[in-house]
């Protein structure tokens, strides 16, 4: 297997708005990140992924970009960003930035021009269609609710927006548009960044004719995703991007790809095809959702999680490369989701980290994950800021007359704002995030859960993450070893074996709050040499047979 720096790295995602506020305006900023680089260096991460800091009217918290080559005033200046890049590199770390090119803001100059007339030179940078029978051009639903089309009276046509109506989709069929994007990417790479995380990049190729989708019972609009996920020209576009831009730099690329399966991911990540290094899959993050999507709650079955992660581990092994994540700016906090954020918060956070970081792939840590930050339950919908959450509440409660308590239960579990509350630095007011009023309320458990407390406690989640990162640097088997699932039908224990150059690594994790008797399978030859890490103190247990405590994790090295 080919070795690469990005395979051997651990990535830390920063959501700038909520990381650290340096000037007291209640909004995290670039200078705030600069002030906290010592913390990230202490943690030991190799790559910082910076969520969007570009010029934006903030309809979708920066994922609606109005100028790709300017910095949002709230975050600082381009000089601040240049300083951040230099400081990160001076510490031996790298930085990747978000590439958001499925759509722009409707306040981008391209779109301002495009909506002026049908024959404007920028018109074809976006996707316009006349109405059909007095309605939208097709029946697609926006990912944020409602129609995916917005009527524009100036030219009597509709434009496509797979997300907010202030995020019009770009028309990748237009070679001039693609050339503009490649020029912009080159500008950023020449500035010194080390790669891109590509936002919903598998949405950029739409099916010809934009056919209607199938409307589910009780719904007004159809998903339409079969006609824009992994579309007919997606591989062509990414190969062109690689040829025109990425091939000229030693960079890391990861594509966010809702709806991608293993077979498609092999194409995206096979280095011989010259597309991307890795993709973010969503399958394992949908296992606690019912048939009606993310807000339709159901309990996680560990057997389903093991089956899914195993499919990806084995499917990409030797062909492409996996990204490994539990959390990001769009996902609720994992310790509240798959762990126990009350009685066993510390133990379950460590266990989940162990399970993920010992798999083959590049691990991603989302800010606050390393100190065990939890979901938020705001008192009122008025306290939420996320456009997807607010649209869901409006559709279900205000327009649909559904039970607000039931809707709020879904929001408590799955709202993107769970990940977006300010980072909890200390037990000072506003968790030490700001001296002003934060843009979104701070989780009130910051007195118990904060970075200062975690750093001072040698047994904290923070120091456990440090150890996991150190182990990856020490043992190549953790990065490059093959994977084998053990006990596939066990409903509480996730155990697997890694093998590499005569070494073996045994990972055992208990996903329950019960004591679980564990006997290592006799048909798997394994002789333990060393216990690499455990989230409990081990007192002379027999290696072959022992009792796993609630949310316990153990990693053994052997032959």
At 524 the pLDDT is 84
Q: Are 167 and 105 in contact (CB under 8 A)?
A: yes
- pLDDT of res. 30: 98
pLDDT confidence band for 375 (50 / 70 / 90) = very high
411, two tokens: 């929001």
The per-residue pLDDT for 458 is 97
Q: Which one of the listed residues 199, 240, 388, 552 is annotated catalytic?
A: 199
Question: Are 49 and 80 within 8 A, CB to CB?
Answer: no
The single-letter DSSP state of residue 106 is T
- Range with lowest mean pLDDT among 85-94, 312-321, 526-535: 526-535
Token readout for 24 is 């007291």
Band of pLDDT at residue 371, cut at 50, 70 and 90: very high
In angstroms, the CA 518 to CA 541 distance is 11
Which one from 256, 264, 340, 552 is the annotated catalytic residue? 256
What is the distance of C-alpha 8 from the center of its chain?
19
> Is residue 240 classed as helix, strand or coil in its secondary structure?
helix
For 402-454, write each residue's pLDDT tens digit.
Answer: 999 999 999 999 999 999 999 999 999 999 999 999 999 999 999 999 999 99
- Find out whether 364 and 370 touch, Cβ atoms under 8 Å: no
Percent of residues, the chain, with pLDDT higher than 90: 93
**Averaged pLDDT of the chain:** 96
- Find, among 358, 356, 368, the residue nearest to 39 by Cα: 368
User: What is the Cα–Cα distance from 365 to 464, expressed in whole angstroms?
Assistant: 13
pLDDT at 397: 93
- The tokens describing 284, both together, are 């394992």
Locate the DSSP E strands across 250-318: 252-256, 278-280, 289-290, 293-297
Cα torsion for 407, 413, 416, 422, to the nearest 10°? 120
* For residues 31-51, average pLDDT: 98
The model scores a pTM over 0.85: yes
Beta bridge partners of 97: 50, 196
At residue 540, does pLDDT exceed 90?
Answer: no
Cα angle 549-553-558, degrees, rounded to a multiple of 5:
120
256 is catalytic: yes
**CB under 8 Å to 535, separation ≥6 — which residues?**
347, 350, 351, 354, 464, 551, 552, 553
3-state helix, strand, coil in the chain (%, to 5): 35, 20, 45
Token output for 180? 């503009």
Strand 128-129 and strand 157-160: pairing?
Answer: antiparallel
Provide the token pair at 40.
């990230």
- Which pLDDT score is estimated for 525? 83
| Two tokens, residue 144 | 């944020």
Write out the E strands in 305-398. Answer: 323-324, 362-366
Each residue of 226-257: pLDDT tens digit?
999 999 999 999 999 999 999 999 999 999 99
What the block records as the tokens of 488 is 């596939």
By CB atoms closer than 10 A (0-12, 13-18, 19+), residue 95 is buried
Least reliable range by pLDDT among 41-50, 240-249, 541-550 = 541-550
**Both structure tokens of 331:** 């996902």
> Average pLDDT of 193-199?
98
Predicted local confidence at residue 198, as pLDDT: 98
pLDDT classification of 296: cutoffs 50, 70, 90: very high
Give the pLDDT band (50/70/90) at residue 542. confident
Q: What H or E segment, with its residue span, contains residue 304? A: helix 302-316
pLDDT band at 543 (very low <50, low <70, confident <90, very high): confident
Least confident of 134-143, 490-499, 535-544: 535-544
Give the mean model confidence (pLDDT) for residues 302-313.
Answer: 98
Residue 468 in tokens: 């996991």
pLDDT at 429: 98
199 classed as catalytic: yes
* CB-count exposure of residue 530 (10 Å: 0-12, 13-18, 19+): exposed
Which structure tokens are listed for 471?
């182990």
The answer to whether residue 84 scores a pLDDT higher than 90 is: yes
Q: Taking a C-beta distance cutoff of 8 angstroms, is the pair 127, 171 a contact? A: yes
Q: What is the mean pLDDT of residues 33-38?
A: 98
Q: Residue 526 pLDDT more than 80?
A: yes
Measured in residues, the chain has a length of 559
The CA distance from 270 to 241, in Å, is 15
Q: Could you tell me which of 122, 7, 110, 103 has the C-alpha nearest to residue 59?
A: 103
Minimal CA–CA distance to 461: which of 43, 94, 152, 175? Answer: 43
Sign of CA dihedral 245, 249, 254, 260: positive
Alpha-carbon distance of 533 to 525, in angstroms, equals: 21
Q: What average pLDDT does the segment 342-370 reach?
A: 98
């Amino acid at each position: 297997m080919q070795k690469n720096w990005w395979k051997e790295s651990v990535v830390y995602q920063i959501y700038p708005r909520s990381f650290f506020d340096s000037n007291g305006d209640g909004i995290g900023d670039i200078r705030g990140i600069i002030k906290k680089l010592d913390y990230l260096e202490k943690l030991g991460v190799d790559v910082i992924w910076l969520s969007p800091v570009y010029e934006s009217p903030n309809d979708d918290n920066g994922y609606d970009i109005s100028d790709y080559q300017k910095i949002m005033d709230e975050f600082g200046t381009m000089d601040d960003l240049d300083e951040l890049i230099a400081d990160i590199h001076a510490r031996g770390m790298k930085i990747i930035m978000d590439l958001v090119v499925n759509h722009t803001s409707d306040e981008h100059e391209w779109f301002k021009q495009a909506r002026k007339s049908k024959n404007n030179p920028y018109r074809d940078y976006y996707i316009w269609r006349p109405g059909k029978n007095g309605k939208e051009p097709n029946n697609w639903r926006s990912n944020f609710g409602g129609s995916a089309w917005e009527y524009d009276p100036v030219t009597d046509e509709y434009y496509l927006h797979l997300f907010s109506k202030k995020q019009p989709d770009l028309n990748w069929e237009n070679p001039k548009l693609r050339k503009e994007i490649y020029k912009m990417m080159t500008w950023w790479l020449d500035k010194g960044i080390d790669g891109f995380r590509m936002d919903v990049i598998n949405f950029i190729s739409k099916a010809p004719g934009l056919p209607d989708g199938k409307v589910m019972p009780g719904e007004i609009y159809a998903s339409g995703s079969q006609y824009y996920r992994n579309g007919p020209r997606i591989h062509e576009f990414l190969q062109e991007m690689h040829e025109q831009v990425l091939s000229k730099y030693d960079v890391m690329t990861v594509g966010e790809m809702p709806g991608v399966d293993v077979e498609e991911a092999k194409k995206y990540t096979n280095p011989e095809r010259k597309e991307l290094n890795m993709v973010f899959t969503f399958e394992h993050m949908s296992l606690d959702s019912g048939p009606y999507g993310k807000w339709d709650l159901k309990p996680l079955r560990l057997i389903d999680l093991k089956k899914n992660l195993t499919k990806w581990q084995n499917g990409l092994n030797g062909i492409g490369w996996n990204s490994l994540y539990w959390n990001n700016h769009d996902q609720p906090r994992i310790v509240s989701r798959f762990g126990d954020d009350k009685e066993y918060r510390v133990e379950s956070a460590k266990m989940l980290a162990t399970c993920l970081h010992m798999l083959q792939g590049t691990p991603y840590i989302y800010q606050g994950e390393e100190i065990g930050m939890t979901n938020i339950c705001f008192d009122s919908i008025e306290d939420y800021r996320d456009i997807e959450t607010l649209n869901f509440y409006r559709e279900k409660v205000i327009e649909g007359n559904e039970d607000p308590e039931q809707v709020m239960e879904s929001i408590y579990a799955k709202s993107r704002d769970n990940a977006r509350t300010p980072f909890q630095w200390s037990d000072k007011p506003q968790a030490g995030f700001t001296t002003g009023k934060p843009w979104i309320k701070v989780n009130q458990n910051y007195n118990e859960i904060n970075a200062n407390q975690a750093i001072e406690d040698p047994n904290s989640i923070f120091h456990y993450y440090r150890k996991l990162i150190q182990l990856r640097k020490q043992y190549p088997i953790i990065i490059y070893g093959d994977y084998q699932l053990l006990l596939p039908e066990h409903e509480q224990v996730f155990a697997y074996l890694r093998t590499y150059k005569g070494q073996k690594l045994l990972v055992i994790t208990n996903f329950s709050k019960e004591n679980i008797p564990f006997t290592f399978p006799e048909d798997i030859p394994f002789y333990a040499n060393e216990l690499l890490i455990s989230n409990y103190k081990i007192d002379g247990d027999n290696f072959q047979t022992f009792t796993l405590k609630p949310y316990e994790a153990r990693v053994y090295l052997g032959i």
